[in-house]
Amino acid sequence: MIDLVGKIGSMALIDSAHHTIDYNKFARLSRQLRPGMVWVSSGATEIGRLDYIMRSGRELDGLPDEVKMDYAAQGQTVLMQTYRNFVDARYGVRQVLVEHGHFNNPEKRESIRQMLLRMPAQNAVPIINYNDAVSCEENRKMEIKQLQREKSEVVELVDNDETAAQIACLVKAKTLLIFSTLSGIYEDVKCPETLIREISAPTAAEVLEKIDKIKLLCDGASRAGANGARAKLEYIKPCITAGVRVIIAGADSDIEEAVSGKADGTRIFVTEEK
């Protein structure tokens, strides 16, 4: 049984003022992870970049795709080492790197599902990330286009918000928690008082209709390459259809506070199916 799939974004793990990992946030969140949770963590590329700069005194030169791959390969080791340092020592920590091909292939998709469902009984916590270290952007786009010619529904996993949403549906989690640099979805991101605290309705179709209307209010993203609130709302649509409750909250919140509603956030769910 998977109670919760959680996701945290790259910039939420970085102390931007000091250009380093936010170890306090890592420690606080990691200590709350336990078996029965699946944790999707961005951060490998940015952490790899910071680690490279710290060791060499400069940034990498080269083609953007190659630089991203190189940073991600270096950052994955630091990312996992940091989680292992802070997750309760009684629990195993397992790295799971996924790609779009895994989720568009029924056999691979089922293999991932079975592996994740085994972990609670094995006292292990999975840390999942997209496998940027071996994913060439040009090849990925070509593969996605080929898949789109073959089937109507294609999973791209271009963002870990999408990865987390797909995994929540895959394991039929009770809750999908997306941590962000913001405290949720806003009618106007420049006005904190416009936080939308709940998007709910008696049926999934009605919730999806509300989501589409709120998407029109969303604009911007926390960093270059991120897709922002509008994309988050699109990615979580399959969760609503599958009966997964979705919470989007600020990364300064504790997991329990966000799930219980004690922390600010946007809660998206079906109240009761007719």
- Least-confidence region, from 1-5, 143-147, 243-247: 143-147
- H/E segment holding residue 211: helix 204-215
If you average pLDDT over residues 187-203, what whole number do you get?
Answer: 93
Task: Strands of 51-172 (E only): list them.
Answer: 92-98, 124-130
Distance of alpha carbon 118 from alpha carbon 122, whole angstroms: 7
Q: 37 by DSSP, 3-state: which?
A: strand
225 — pLDDT class (breaks 50, 70, 90): very low
Model pTM? 0.90
Q: Where are the domains of the chain?
A: 13-167, 174-274
Same fold, 13-167 and 174-274: yes
Domain spanning 174-274: which superfamily?
Acetylglutamate kinase-like (3.40.1160.10)
Distance of alpha carbon 23 from alpha carbon 187, whole angstroms: 32
Q: 258 by DSSP, 3-state: which?
A: helix
pLDDT digits (tens, 9 = 90+) for 106-150: 999 999 999 999 999 999 999 999 888 877 665 666 666 776 777
Which two structure tokens, joined as six digits, stand for 122?
Answer: 């094995």
Q: 179 by DSSP, 3-state: which?
A: strand
If you average pLDDT over residues 245-259, what whole number do you get?
Answer: 95
Which two structure tokens, joined as six digits, stand for 246?
Answer: 């979705």
| Phi, psi dihedrals of residue 228, rounded to the nearest 5° | 80, -175
Higher-pLDDT residue of 143, 193: 193
Q: Are 194 and 187 in contact (CB under 8 A)?
A: yes
Q: Which CATH architecture has domain 13-167?
A: 3-Layer(aba) Sandwich (3.40)
Nearest CA among 117, 100, 226, 120 for reference residue 163:
100
Q: Which amino acid is at 147?
A: L
Q: 248 by DSSP, 3-state: which?
A: strand
